[in-house]
Structure 1
Amino acid sequence: MFSSQGPSLRDLAAQALNSVERGYDLLAPTFDHTPFRTPDRVLTATAEVLRPLGPFGAGLDVCCGTGAGMRALTPLCRGPVTGVDFSGGMLAQARTAHPDAQWVRADARALPFTEAFDLAVSFGALGHFLPAERPALFAAVHRALRPGGLFAFPVAAPPRVTSPWYWALAGFDAVMRVRNAVWRPPFVMYYRSCPLTALRTDLAAAGFAVTVAPLEGLGRREDGSPRCQLLLARRA
């Protein structure tokens, strides 16, 4: 799974036994050499959907990690682009990789922005928020956007119950729940906690008008449905 430059199993164990913030601080130097970094094909497919909806002014990457999302966000925006994350270690890597962007350390549930951005994106971060935390997250993004601003993030189609991936993800989530029941601090990372219907409901409650677009660049399943969709939430 990992390159020679990636983390060892010991590194991953150390991450899993710490808080989310401290865990990503530890993993930051090798994070881009793991499968957990957002793949370029996801970034490209997202940009292809968003490009006809722009151009945009200022852009925000929510839970930016090491800044991979800037590869999609920067070309779409005429104004400055900003990444926000609560891991200082991840932000340090992002600053090195993308020195022209702005970087802010903050909790995504309490973003320090008001009507400052025209486009916000997020990649692979929602599993770090419990369902009860999503309203605060979406309200913070809504507040950070200017009227008419757009919040976009990809949502993968859930694997079928007959797929090995279904049971692998279910097993991972079960292990994480047991870990969090017996060990502190908690490490929140659940792969099956963000069904599309629930996300749409929470976004609408935060004041967004919500639509969905297929990410055609990522292909379709055997039944013709998209493998991944881009959730588009616009501040009215």
Structure 2
Amino acid sequence: MSEAYEGYGGDTAVDRTGQAEAFDAIGARYDVAFPHKEGQLAAGAWLAASLPPGSRVLDVGCGTGLPTARALADAGHKVTGIDLSAGMLSLARAHVPEGEFHQLDLAALRVAGPEGLGEFDGIACFFTLLMLPRAEIPYALRQLHRLLRPGGLFTLSMVEADLDDAEIPFLGHSIRVSGFLRDELRRVVREAGFEIAGEESFAYAPASTDAHPEHQLFLNCRRA
């Protein structure tokens, strides 16, 4: 396949309107349903502590801004967040008023150009890649690789599952999700140009019965 797959490096728009509308409707209930974010907190803390003070950090799929964007800003970093959901971004701007937030799809991320975001010292991407079909995930990872400065740090999480663009019920709405088993996730991340510096996994039971228990994988990486 070429690098222009489904808008990654090309001009084809990817329609994820349904995904965005679901999270617009879910809003702050997401944080209520997922109150204990030990893995996300630990990975975010690794990123915040490993970067030089005042680093420029991108939070991909920032959601409500809690806990990641808020923690990065509290650590003294310059935070930019992106999300598809206007409702989530409204909450993020309220929770992290010093941050910079944009309604953008992963496919639209660019370093340069009229809508380019520039380069970053670090990137966090928690439970965002799982919203893509599997075939798009390697291209999304390469986009994030391009946004990182050489030696930059990248932390991500996925739910461990053998799924590809499967429709599931989620907090009263339907969303489409993908997942990898851990060996495959490691391979995809390495092939996108990242070195894996650390890995953790967590069994997670959401507080809401409208969301299923899951096994979460966290990878702390460096741009090779």
CA contact (8 A) 1:210 1:232 kept: yes
Shift of 1:75: 3.9
1:112-191 correspondence runs (5 A): 112-113=110-111, 116-155=119-158, 176-177=166-167, 187-190=175-178
Unmatched 5+ stretches in structure 2? 1-16, 113-117, 204-214
Q: Which runs of 5+ in 1 are unaligned?
A: 1-17, 159-168, 180-185, 220-226
CA distance in 2, matches of 1:208, 1:20: 28
Note the alpha carbon deviations across 1:139-194, whole angstroms, 9 max, x for none.
111111111111102456x5xxxxxxxxxx88xx69x5489xxxxxx83124xx22
Whose radius of gyration is greater, 1 or 2? 1
How far apart are residue 105 of structure 1 and its match?
1.1
Equivalent residue for 2:198? 212
Percent of paired sites with the same residue: 29
CA contact (8 A) 2:80 2:99 kept: yes
C-alpha distance 96-73 of structure 1, shift in aligned 2 (>3 A): same
Structure 1 residues 213 and 177: alpha-carbon distance in aligned structure 2, compared to 1, 3 A threshold: closer
CA distance in 2, matches of 1:202, 1:210: 11
Task: Describe the shift of the 1:66–1:105 C-alpha distance in structure 2 as closer, same or farther (beyond 3 A).
Answer: same
Shift of 1:90: 1.0
Q: Deviations over 1:69-103 (max 9, x none)?
A: 2133224454x111111111111111111111110
In the alignment, which residue of structure 1 is the partner of 2:80? 82
Scaled by the length of structure 1, the TM-score of the pair is: 0.66
Instruction: State the superposition RMSD in angstroms.
Output: 3.2
SS of aligned partner of 1:152: strand
Q: Which segment drifts farther, 45-54 or 105-114?
A: 45-54
Aligned residues: 186
Give distance in 1, aligned partners of 2:109 and 2:141.
10
Task: Please state which structure has a larger fraction of its residues in strand.
Answer: 2
Shift, 1:64, TM fit: 0.8
Which of 15, 40, 44 is 2:41 aligned to? 44
> Contact 1:135 / 1:206 at 8 angstroms: preserved in 2?
yes
Looking at secondary structure, tell me which structure has more helix per residue.
Answer: 1
Q: Write the mapping of 1:194-205 to structure 2, written as runs, cut at 5 A.
A: 194-205=180-191
Quick one: distance in 1 between partners of 2:20 and 2:168? 20
